[in-house]
Structures are given as C-alpha cells and as structure tokens.
Amino acid sequence: MTEAVGLLGGGVIGGGWAARFVLNGVDVRLYDPDPDAARKVDEMLENARRALGRLTYAPLPAPGELTFVSTPEEAAAGAGFIQENAPERLDLKRKLLAAASKVAPPEVVIASSTSGLLPSQLQEGMEHPERLTVGHPFNPVYLLPLVELCGGARTAPETIDRAAALYRSVGMHPLVVRREVDGFIADRLLEALWREALWLVHDEIATVSEIDDAIRYGPGLRWSGMGTFLLYRIAGGEAGMRHFMAQFGPALQWPWSKLTDVPELTDELLERLEQQSDAQAAGRSVRELERLRDDCLVAVLQALRANGVGAGETVAEYERTLVERAPSPARDAFRWETRVLPEWVDYNGHATESSYLLMTSHATDGLLSSLGIDADYLRAGGSYFTVETHICHLGEAKAGDRLHVTTQVLGADEKRIHIFVRIARDHTLLATAEQMLLHVDTKAGRAAPASPEVLTRVHEIVEAHASQPWPERAGRRIALRSGAPT
C-alpha cells in the first residue's frame, strides 16, 4: 500500500480520514491541538469499523497504526502523503501547509480537505507548491466515495494523478475539478439548495422536517444513482435534453426560487431552526443518528453495487482490491482470527448461526487464495464453489469475542476439495464446519478439473495435512437415532 499518512487536523473530516486510512491498513500520524482529539477520533473509528463491517464481507487488511503527535511537523515527518483538515481559515491552513511542506520531501503530495478555499491561495508560502492539491471529501469520509481534486496555478499534473491513485486505493471516487472556483462543484450545489431551504424556514412555508421529507421521499431517492442532468434527459423522452430545455427552460424565469441574498441569520431564525431541528431529532442522540445515517448509506451502497451503478461500482472495485490484497498464501491460508462483530449477534446477544458460516466462507477464501484462485483465475473462468456444508454448533459466542478459525484439508480429487473448519475461542471449540468444494468451469457452467498448477498445490496441501488427526466430527449425518434410514 502506501507509507504512513500525515493528518493535520482531526475533527469531523480529519477523523473521518483517519478512519478510512487506518481501516485500510495505512499507518496514520495525526496532529490536532484539541486535547479531546483522541477521544473524538476513537469514536469516529468505532462508527467506521461498524459501517465497514456492514459494507463488505471482503477481508479487510490488518488496521494501520494511529499515532497522535504534538506538532504538524511530526505528522508530516516520514509521511508518504499528507492531508490537511483544519477549519476553513486561510491563515490557519496556510500555516499548517507551509510547516508540513518544510519537512516533507518534494515528492510527497500534500492535499487540503478545504471545502472551498482556492488551491492557488493555499499554495502561498509552501515549499514546492507544485505538490499541493485540494482533496475535498464528504462526511462521513469513511463511507462516501466522492473526493474532489483541484489543482492551483502551480500544481503539477502528476500531483493530481498521484493523489487520485491514493484515494482510489482506499476505495474512493476522485472527481477532478478542472478550474478552481469557490466551493468547487458539490458544495456549490448543496449551498444553493440550502439557501433556498433556509428561505422556506424563514418565510414559514415549511419546517426543517417537512423540507427534509420533501427530499428523502422524493427526488433524493433518485440522486443516489443518477444526477440531475441524466434524470432530466430521461424526462425529456425521446427528444432528449434539447426537448427538456425547451419545455422547462422558460420555467427558470418563474419566481420559484428566491435566489437573491441569504436570509439574515437573526436570533429568531436561529431559534426557529434549533427548535424545529430538536423536534425532528425526536430525542435521538448524535450517535444514534450517525449510526442510522451510516446504516442507510451502507444499505444504499450495497443496493447500487447489486445494480453495478455509480458508487456501487466503486464499492465493488474496492472489494476486488481487498480480495486481491488479502494476506499472502503461506502465512494465512489455514488460520485466521476475527472478533465477533456486533452485526453478527442476535437479540439474545449470541453470534447467529449464519455468522459461523460466514466465518467459514472467509476461511475458505483464504485457502482458495493460497491455491492461486485469484482475480486472473476467476476471469479465466475457473472457480471453486461450496456444494455441501455440515455444521455442528457446540457453544455460544458473544459480540467482541476473539475467535480463531482453522482449516484442515481432509482430501481432494481433480474436481473436489474436502475441508474441515474449526471455530474456537481460545481452547473452547464453538463450532465445526465440514465442506465439500467443487471446481467449476464458470463459462461452461459445469464441474471441471482445476488447472494443473492449482491441482499441484492442492495435492501438496493434502499431503501436508495428512498427518493431522482425522476430525472427530467429520462425516456426520443428521438423524434422531443413529443408524436411522437415509
């Protein structure tokens, strides 16, 4: 992956970056003058772990190390990439960027999370300003894929390329903004909408709750998969965008939006906003709302992934890289560790039946990886599928329990591998899962022998495991009485 990332600032955005990098196996050195920074970043990490665990079954790498340092220079030292996340004040950002740029070698890219300060202005005072770019993410940074990139007058083209590559490597979707303008793209759109929303509250046309509902029960649903221009093109029917503009262009002249000044933020308006917002929250805490937001985002991302659309494709691509990067064969093919995730646990507080099979699937993935069943092999049309599974449940696991999962290969032929998986907490065996895997020619849609290379490795493993004792529970059948008819 990459060497350490230095983070300058650890608030909502900086903490979000910390989570995204750390959970993708990247070491992070974080500077923030706030004495509470460590606690807040920790809470962000907890949210992020939860969200990521729900987002994908693909194996996450071992987390990176998170270190809190006392100066921006310490954050920058030894970093392969630096991300600045200070409050939106030009003087403050310049100071941090300049300090970091004195320490970081010229080839280290420095990105700013600024929502709208111009990169050309940020570059002032930096050593080697050509390595600066805007890298503007969206909250929650650990979940939303979009990051806007924008170079200043002195930014080198390769700076943008390298920042984009880094962001992609942690599952993001870089969008290059070709000319620097305040607010770039997304925030300009958001702000226009929000100004109008504030007018609606100001003029007492609607409450904050009603305004939010007007989005999320209607047009907001569309925007997760498609943007405004494509939606309008479709609405224009066969005649397309030209027709749409002809039909609806003139309406732009109508008094549908205030679009003049911002409503004055009087005490009265602020009071009204606060009251209505409290009513809308209906007693739910920030943490509850964050988790609800993240659960929706995860579900929506998975929905889009199932349809191969937009941000869903970003998730799918990210998963592919996670799988490809999974620990290399020799080390982890036959044993891995996990913690029982909160989402694996039922209302009794116990890990569900299906979570044991999930863990077994992960174990099998590791084994297959070690056999050379990689992305290329899959693309060439070969794969192993599970055709049969026998699970014995022996004990309970609770959320947070640390479990280890070991795989024993019992035998194989040219099409099949017979394995036995044990799931244990320390020395307590909690479950066993015996499986038969079948090699399939996915293009022909039927069973077929694995490749000679794979078979060679399979036989090596069968030999290596032959000395292990035959599992007590292998070959079991289910019956009320032993000797019962099959």
* Total number of residues that touch a copy of itself (CB under 8 A): 164
Q: Which residue's CB is nearer to a copy of itself, number 126 or number 200? A: 200
Residue 65 touches a copy of itself, criterion: CB under 8 A: no
- Give the footprint of a copy of itself on residues 148-177 (CB under 8 A): 148, 173, 175, 177
CA dihedral of 456, 462, 466, 468, whole degrees rounded to 10: 130
Q: Which residue's CB is nearer to a copy of itself, number 106 or number 308? A: 308
Residue 35 touches a copy of itself, criterion: CB under 8 A: no
Which range, of 18-26, 54-62, 100-108, 330-338, touches a copy of itself by CB under 8 A? Answer: 54-62
Residue 33 touches a copy of itself, criterion: CB under 8 A: no
Sole binder of a copy of itself in the list 302, 332, 406, 429 (CB under 8 A): 302
Nearest approach in angstroms of CB 335 to a copy of itself is 20
Distance CA 236, CA 239 (A): 6
- Give the footprint of a copy of itself on residues 2-31 (CB under 8 A): 12
Phi, psi of 28 (to 5 degrees): -130, 135
Q: DSSP code of 345?
A: B
Residue 289 touches a copy of itself, criterion: CB under 8 A: yes
Helix (H) or strand (E) holding 8: strand 5-8
**Partners of 147 in the beta sheet?**
137, 174
Q: Which residue's CB is nearer to a copy of itself, number 296 or number 464? A: 296
Residue 382: strand, helix, or coil: strand
Residue 292 touches a copy of itself, criterion: CB under 8 A: yes
Nearest approach in angstroms of CB 333 to a copy of itself is 19
Residue 127 touches a copy of itself, criterion: CB under 8 A: no
Q: Which amino acid is at 221?
A: L
Nearest approach in angstroms of CB 77 to a copy of itself is 30
Q: Which residue's CB is nearer to a copy of itself, number 69 or number 323? A: 323
Residue 245 touches a copy of itself, criterion: CB under 8 A: yes
Q: DSSP code of 343?
A: G
Sole binder of a copy of itself in the list 85, 159, 314, 370 (CB under 8 A): 314
Which range, of 26-34, 98-106, 163-171, 224-232, touches a copy of itself by CB under 8 A? Answer: 224-232
Residue 217 touches a copy of itself, criterion: CB under 8 A: yes
CB-based contact 41:67 (threshold 8 Å): no
- Residue 40 vs residues 10, 145, 223, 297: alpha-carbon distances, Å: 8, 22, 31, 21
* Helices and strands counted in the chain (H then E): 18, 14
Sole binder of a copy of itself in the list 62, 251, 330, 444 (CB under 8 A): 251
Residue 450 touches a copy of itself, criterion: CB under 8 A: no
Residue 121 touches a copy of itself, criterion: CB under 8 A: no
Residue 208 touches a copy of itself, criterion: CB under 8 A: yes
- Give the footprint of a copy of itself on residues 466-485 (CB under 8 A): 470, 474-480, 484-485
Q: Give the list of residues 6+ apart from residue 102 with CB closer than 8 angstroms, or none.
A: 73, 127
Residue 183 touches a copy of itself, criterion: CB under 8 A: yes
Distance CA 355, CA 340 (A): 9
Residue 122 touches a copy of itself, criterion: CB under 8 A: no
Distance CA 222, CA 227 (A): 8
Q: Pattern of binders to a copy of itself over 338-357, x per CB under 8 A? A: ----xx-xxx-x--xxxx-x
Residue 439 touches a copy of itself, criterion: CB under 8 A: no
Sole binder of a copy of itself in the list 33, 105, 125, 227 (CB under 8 A): 227
Neighbour count for residue 280 (Cβ, 10 Å):
16
Distance CA 190, CA 429 (A): 53
Nearest approach in angstroms of CB 74 to a copy of itself is 26
Residue 452 touches a copy of itself, criterion: CB under 8 A: no
Listing from the earlier edge strand, what are the strands of the sheet with 173-176?
66-69, 28-31, 5-8, 81-84, 109-112, 132-137, 146-151, 173-176
Sole binder of a copy of itself in the list 128, 418, 422, 439 (CB under 8 A): 418
Residue 428 touches a copy of itself, criterion: CB under 8 A: no
| Helical axes 37-55 vs 12-23, angle rounded to 10° | 50
Distance CA 269, CA 117 (A): 27
Following DSSP, what letter does each residue of 389-430 receive, concatenated?
A: EEEEE-S--BTT-EEEEEEEEEEE-SSEEEEEEEEEETTEEE
